[in-house]
Structure 1
Amino acid sequence: MLRQDIFAVTDPERIRDLIRTHAWATLISHVPDRGMTVSHLPVLVADGGPGDALVLTGHLARTDAEEHQLGAHDVVLVFQGPHGYLSPVWYEATPHVPTWNFVVAHVHGRPVVLGPEHTYGVLTDTVDHFEGRFPEPWRLERVDAYAHRIAAAVTGFTLTAARVTAKAKLSQDESDEVVHRVVAALTADQPYAHPQLARAMRDSRRQQ
């Protein structure tokens, strides 16, 4: 990922928040004699990392874990926040060309594969994380016997981040007037409307 200081995200809590709110991750491995292997999975932020290190937990199908040779080598987890196309028409200023605003984090590290009991704990935590938005959350214990049976085909893991690269390209290099016009376009009734991206741009402007 292209490194640009103006777009770099270094605040650990901001990175954790990105992962918490966009927990559907892409797992990328380079497996010897097989090449690149890619999977998609939910990943959570774990508490209590050593020295405030970022610690993640996740799970994927056992066959996927075997394809990645999970735990045998380093991997990258990619978390993608709000993103979208920006038309130069919205800027009402020249010169501008089409571009893409986005928020993303890359977490590098080597997973530690968990045993059945801890894997079931990851499954429980994952359900609780996503169900927590409902007024009456569903709990895995409601189908405990069934859940334990299918959990045998799941591999859980933890990953302590060895390196994190995060970027929020949100028009920080543009004037307040231009950002205001782009935000207005993103919240209007038009083909590339994206209120969540507009909110991220407003938040970024306040943090500058």
Structure 2
Amino acid sequence: MYIPKHFKIEDQEVIYKYIEKYSFATMFSQHKGEPYATHLPLILDKDERVLYGHIALPNEQWQDMENQNILVTFQGPHCYISPSWYETNKAVPTWNYVAVHVYGQVEFLHNQQELLQSLSEMVNKYEKANSPYNLNEVDSNFLEGLSKGIVGFKINITKIEAKAKLSQNHSMERQEMVIKQLELSPDQDNKQIANLMKENLQRKL
């Protein structure tokens, strides 16, 4: 990923935070000589430096992705930045966004218990704390039947690239102008980018 020095995220914990928050990812590999992508949620294990997930058995991507050097992208909030918000007309439009690229090697989960554990962690992540649903309480025969229709895997991470393009290449005054305009928008992505820009400015103070 092209990352100018202004926009590179160096802090590992910040990167992990983005992966966990924007965990619905796009997984790219080569399948039959062509690029192939699947959209899916992934669970990060920071201690093992591994991503856990599963793919539908009829999805052919799994058939040749083991031991490939694959790419997974996590897309955070993004929004258009209008040059009309600046103090000068000597400017052009741009786009602010957060993105993380993770590279790694796929290893399939052949152990049924490991697969069920990864499924349980995924459910626990997305179910609300007061949800009555508990995967561990689902009929074991039912779960075993469903698990035959998916392929569990983990991605052993080899490299991470992370970028937060938040107008850092502009003056603080101009960044504050952008934040003000984004906060006026009803769009949630605009508001999230505004918050990230404010956090970035506060770190510089």
Q: Judge same fold: TM > 0.5, yes or no.
A: yes
Segment drifting more, 55-64 vs 195-204: 55-64
Match of 1:183 in 2: 179
Match of 1:46 in 2: 45
Deviation of 1:205 after TM superposition, in Å, equals 1.7
User: Residue 152 of structure 1 is aligned with which of 148, 155, 158?
Assistant: 148
Give the SS at the match of 1:97: coil
- Distance of 2:19 and 2:89 partners within structure 1: 36
Q: Which runs of 5+ in 2 are unaligned?
A: none
- Distance of 2:52 and 2:189 partners within structure 1: 33
- Partner deviation per Cα, 1:58-101 (whole Å, 9 max, x = no partner): 11212326455231311000011111111111223232111000
- 1:198–1:75 distance in 2 versus 1, CA, 3 Å: same
Q: Which runs of 5+ in 1 are unaligned?
A: none
Residue 86 of structure 1 pairs with residue 81 of structure 2: yes
Residue 28 of structure 1 pairs with residue 28 of structure 2: yes
Give the SS at the match of 2:175: helix
User: Residue 124 of structure 2 is aligned with which of 128, 146, 161?
Assistant: 128
Aligned-residue Cα RMSD (Å) equals: 2.0
User: Residue 107 of structure 1 is aligned with which of 102, 111, 114?
Assistant: 102
Match of 1:37 in 2: 36
Match of 1:71 in 2: 66
Contact 1:119 1:154 in 2 (8 A): no
Match of 1:56 in 2: 51
User: Residue 195 of structure 1 is aligned with which of 178, 191, 195?
Assistant: 191
- 1:28–1:139 distance in 2 versus 1, CA, 3 Å: same
Segment drifting more, 38-47 vs 89-98: 89-98
- Partner deviation per Cα, 1:117-139 (whole Å, 9 max, x = no partner): 212211111000111x4433632
- Distance of 2:10 and 2:178 partners within structure 1: 25
- Distance of 2:8 and 2:183 partners within structure 1: 25
- Distance of 1:63 and 1:93 partners within structure 2: 55
TM-score normalised by structure 1 residue count: 0.88
Match of 2:6 in 1: 6
Amino acid at match of 1:118: E
Identity %: 30
- 1:154–1:30 distance in 2 versus 1, CA, 3 Å: same
- Distance of 2:62 and 2:45 partners within structure 1: 25
User: Residue 117 of structure 1 is aligned with which of 113, 119, 122?
Assistant: 113
- Distance of 1:190 and 1:62 partners within structure 2: 40
- Distance of 2:53 and 2:200 partners within structure 1: 29
Give the SS at the match of 1:63: coil
Contact 1:79 1:105 in 2 (8 A): yes
Match of 2:92 in 1: 97
